[in-house]
Structure 1
Amino acid sequence: MLILIVIILCIVAGVSFYKHHNLLGSITIVLLIMAQALLVMDSQYHYATKVNDDIHISQVKPITSIHDNHVMVTKGIKEGKTTYQAFVTKNKTNSKNHIILNKDKKVLVNREKNHQNQLVTNNHQYQYTNQFANLLFAGITNQNQLKQQVVTYNLGNDWL
């Protein structure tokens, strides 16, 4: 919606200055600058948003078990000068390999005796605080934009 307002203000300012209506043209230029400032505030500072946490918990099982020791595969993957860590387990439901790469997220591995072999995904996402802001920034929205993702493996001591 704000982009549409900016386009309309540009057209009105151009027509106003072309027809020598300098006062109307000046007012629309000021409004145009204010609208562009709102665009910058939304894109750079996430104006009119708050951060919501979304937590998803799923069960994981090991790739294999050797003498009652469960195995989670980790491998360093080099991309240029940066090395990322890949974590591989299996999903509890469909037994497919589940790969998580710590490229754009933080990955923690907690091992304690009483853990239930869980994968906890915590997503921190931007949400607009009201419907007016959601409508105003439609099309250039920060709605549900991911700020940070933290993936935590809660595993028992029998995992290697």
Structure 2
Amino acid sequence: MLVLSRQRDESIMIGDNVVVTIVDIRGDKVRLGIEAPGEIPVIRREVYEANRWIAMNLYQAFCAAQKLTYEGLRETAALKGMLPWFNAHVEETLDTMGDDFWPYGVARNRATLGTFLRYHHEQGLSPRKFEVDEMFAPETLEEFVI
């Protein structure tokens, strides 16, 4: 979960294909220039500060959707798409990468995120090396299993 403050011209670049810039602020209206894939959730800081539960609820919703998708991949009664070898591809992926091949959560991605942030700074894309915990809402740093 990415949380931005409200400073005009503040921007952050994530990878090669995501740039978020605060273009204009007028009263309580903020205009963002966001060039990002749709799967990256962004919460405005004032919304997050007023509703601290929102980051964790959004994260849990994504996890629930992922679980349904993973479960659907194992259903073999009918193909999920037009690929004739879809079921074979699913089995090969599971054999190679395990049951959770797109892991969610900071804990399971800490090493990858840390490497990304180090490269981001080394390549001059950020003014300093950010720590992983700085990039996410504190509520999402730990996962709770019920």
Band the TM-score falls in, shorter-chain normalisation: under 0.3
Per residue, is there more strand in 1 or in 2? 1
Per residue, is there more helix in 1 or in 2? 2
Q: Scaled by the length of structure 2, what TM-score is found?
A: 0.23
**Which structure has the larger Rg over C-alpha atoms?**
1
Q: Scaled by the length of structure 1, what TM-score is found?
A: 0.22
